[in-house]
Each structure stands twice: as structure tokens, then as C-alpha cells.
């Protein structure tokens, strides 16, 4: 009888789900398998966080289905030069609204040179003429602080923050011009949270701020080749538009990854860093893990087969 009972029970045992595995549902094919990949990405980020000598914040958003990974994502941290994404956004918003224009001329002035303005400082003052778009390219491509300050003066610091307010972003603030150490010592630091940087990028990727050719040109400028952390380990053909930032003890990078068929927004922020090279490596490792994740999702069919 005991043998018969075991035989009769065995089909039921085979049909039961494994421990921790959800029973089959009516969700889209492959949803459970994709969830496994998301869990593994989360775990890899958590492992990097555990090894990091510093405070790490991460926000990653799938711009296809809205799924997110968040780690300390609401902590307010210094942005360093990554705040220049907001400056660039307001410049392009004013172009769309008919205010300050991308084509407005600028005559190079030595009075605008500050530390971190190596390219602007190398141009002939009183002779070299640039446009606001040229200044934006210097701001993003070589993080020229003088070019950034000229743009902030022209578009208005308060208008940058008004744009951020309109998007519901309260932690992301432009409080000082570049290299204003007196303002920084007084507590007027440029800040954001990882979640809000991703929200800003998502709004720019959508149509809440820009549209059409102007939106495309915004991301063309943001993708200007530069020394960055997030794309550092990516394959040569990978496309990412991001803006890194660094200060003493701070490393940041945020942008849009154009994984085929699966774009994503990502922000990685590190502060209180005890090893800045290790911080940069951690951001690069997270960038690679995220890219591989979205490239895999975007290049596979519903059941995970990689499609040619």
C-alpha cells in the first residue's frame, strides 16, 4: 500500500513548482525568465555596493516597460558636473520657446575663464566667435566650466530650477556656478538624487520638455565623445549619451543607454568615496552590467532566444 501511495503521489510531486518558483500564470511569455535576469542585475549591483568604500546610489529605468532598479536612489548627493544636463535641458527648452537661442553669438572673453576652462582659455579673446550651441558642446564634451558659467548667466540659474520644479524634481538643484568654492563652503551645493536624474532623463527622452529635431539634437550634444565612467567598458559600437561629474570624494555619471530595441535611463552616484579610482571602476562595472542586461532583453524573442 505504501508503494502504491508513492506511485500515485509522484505525478503530483512532479507537477508542483520548485521552492520559490511561481506557478505558471497568464502573464506574457518569458516574463518569469526576464524577472530572473532583473534579479541577477540587482544582485550584481548589491555585490558591488558591498565592496565599495563609499556611499553608492543607483537608479536604472527600462524606457520600454518602466521597470526600475533602485538602490539608495532617494539620497540627495552632490552632482558635480552632471548638473550640466539640467543646464543643457533649459538651454534647449528656451530655444523651443523662442527665448535664448542656440545660434546666439558669444565673443570669447578672458574674464569668463575659470579653473577647468582649458579649451575656452585657449581661444583668442575678443576674436573667436562661438554660438550658444558651441558653448554647450564645450560644456558637455570637455566639461568646460567657463562655457558652462556663460550659459548659466545667459539662461538664468532660476530658470533651470523652474524647469526642474515643473518636472516635480525637488532634490535636483543648481545652486552655484562652476568652481564657486565660496558658495560650496556656504552649503550651496549642486545636488540631485539618482531617482531624479533618471526622471529628468526620461522626461527629456519623452516629449515633456523637447520634441522632434530639437530633442534629437539635445541627445546628439549629450553624446559628444568624452571621458566617461558608465560607457568605459562597453563595446565600441555601444551608444550612450551621458554626462559624468567628479569632485573630491564624488563620482557621478548619468545618461541614456541606446541598447538595441531597449533604451534605458541610468544614474550612478558615489559620495564619501575612500578610493576614487575604485569608485570610477564601480560605475563602469554597473554600466556594463546594465548594458548587457538591456542588450539581452532587446535582442531576444519572448522565450529568450537570441534573434539574428
Domain count, the chain: 1
Asked if residue 22 is part of any domain, the answer here is no
Asked if residue 106 is part of any domain, the answer here is yes
Asked if residue 6 is part of any domain, the answer here is no
Query: Looking at residue 293, which CATH number applies to its domain?
Result: 3.40.710.10
Q: How far apart are CA 182 and CA 84, in angstroms?
A: 19
Structure confidence at residue 184 (pLDDT): 85
Give the tens place of pLDDT for each residue, 87-120.
999 999 999 999 999 999 999 999 999 999 999 9
CB 87 within 8 A of CB 252: no
Name the helix (H) or strand (E) containing 271. strand 264-271
Asked if residue 13 is part of any domain, the answer here is no
CB 184 within 8 A of CB 247: no
Structure confidence at residue 12 (pLDDT): 31
Pairing of strands 240-247, 191-192: unpaired
Structure confidence at residue 293 (pLDDT): 98
Structure confidence at residue 220 (pLDDT): 98
Cα 105 to chain center, whole Å?
Answer: 30
Q: To which residue does cell 539581452 refer? A: 296
Of 76, 83, 81, 52, the C-alpha closest to 246 is 81
* Cell digits of residue 205: 527622452
Structure confidence at residue 302 (pLDDT): 84
Q: How far apart are CA 39 and CA 31, in angstroms?
A: 12
Low-confidence ranges of the chain (pLDDT < 70): 1-27
Asked if residue 12 is part of any domain, the answer here is no
Q: Give the CA radius of gyration of the chain.
A: 23
Of 250, 239, 167, the C-alpha closest to 209 is 167
Q: How far apart are CA 192 and CA 209, in angstroms?
A: 19
Q: How far apart are CA 128 and CA 120, in angstroms?
A: 10
Structural domain that includes position 41: 29-298
Of 131, 125, 86, the C-alpha closest to 108 is 125
CB 273 within 8 A of CB 53: yes
Asked if residue 306 is part of any domain, the answer here is no
Q: How far apart are CA 139 and CA 167, in angstroms?
A: 23
Asked if residue 308 is part of any domain, the answer here is no
Give the tens place of pLDDT for each residue, 14-50.
233 323 333 334 467 778 999 999 999 999 999 999 9
By the 10 Å C-beta count (0-12 exposed, 13-18 middle, 19+ buried), 17 is classed as exposed
Measured CA angle at 246 (ends 43, 81), to 5 deg: 105
Asked if residue 4 is part of any domain, the answer here is no
Q: How far apart are CA 74 and CA 226, in angstroms?
A: 28
Structure confidence at residue 27 (pLDDT): 65
Q: What are phi and psi of 243, to 5 degrees?
A: -135, 115
Amino acid at each position: 500500500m505504501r508503494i502504491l501511495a508513492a506511485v500515485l503521489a509522484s505525478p503530483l510531486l512532479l507537477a508542483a513548482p520548485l521552492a520559490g518558483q511561481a506557478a505558471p500564470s497568464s502573464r506574457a511569455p518569458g516574463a518569469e525568465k526576464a524577472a530572473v535576469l532583473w534579479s541577477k542585475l540587482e544582485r550584481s549591483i548589491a555585490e558591488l555596493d558591498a565592496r565599495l568604500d563609499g556611499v553608492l546610489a543607483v537608479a536604472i529605468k527600462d524606457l520600454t516597460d518602466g521597470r526600475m532598479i533602485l538602490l539608495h536612489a532617494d539620497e540627495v548627493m552632490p552632482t558635480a558636473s552632471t548638473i550640466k544636463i539640467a543646464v543643457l535641458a533649459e538651454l534647449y527648452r528656451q530655444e523651443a520657446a523662442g527665448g535664448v537661442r542656440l545660434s546666439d553669438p558669444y565673443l570669447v572673453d578672458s574674464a569668463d575663464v575659470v579653473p577647468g576652462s582649458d579649451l575656452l582659455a585657449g581661444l583668442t579673446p575678443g576674436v573667436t566667435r562661438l554660438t550658444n550651441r558651441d558653448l554647450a558642446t564645450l560644456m558637455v564634451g570637455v566639461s568646460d566650466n567657463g562655457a558652462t558659467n556663460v550659459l548659466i548667466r545667459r539662461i538664468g540659474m532660476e530658470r533651470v530650477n523652474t524647469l526642474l520644479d515643473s518636472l516635480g524634481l525637488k532634490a535636483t538643484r543648481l545652486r552655484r556656478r562652476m568652481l564657486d568654492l565660496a558658495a560650496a563652503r556656504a552649503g550651496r551645493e549642486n545636488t540631485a538624487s539618482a531617482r531624479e536624474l533618471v526622471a529628468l532623463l526620461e522626461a527629456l527622452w519623452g516629449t515633456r520638455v523637447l520634441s522632434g529635431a530639437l530633442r534629437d539634437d539635445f541627445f546628439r550634444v549629450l553624446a559628444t565623445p568624452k571621458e566617461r565612467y558608465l560607457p568605459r567598458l562597453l563595446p565600441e559600437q555601444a551608444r550612450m549619451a551621458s554626462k559624468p561629474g567628479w569632485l573630491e570624494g564624488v563620482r557621478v555619471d548619468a545618461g541614456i543607454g541606446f541598447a538595441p530595441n531597449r533604451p534605458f535611463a541610468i544614474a550612478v552616484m558615489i559620495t564619501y568615496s575612500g578610493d576614487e579610482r575604485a569608485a570610477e571602476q564601480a560605475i563602469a562595472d554597473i554600466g556594463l552590467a546594465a548594458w548587457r542586461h538591456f542588450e539581452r532583453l532587446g535582442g531576444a524573442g519572448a522565450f529568450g532566444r537570441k534573434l539574428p
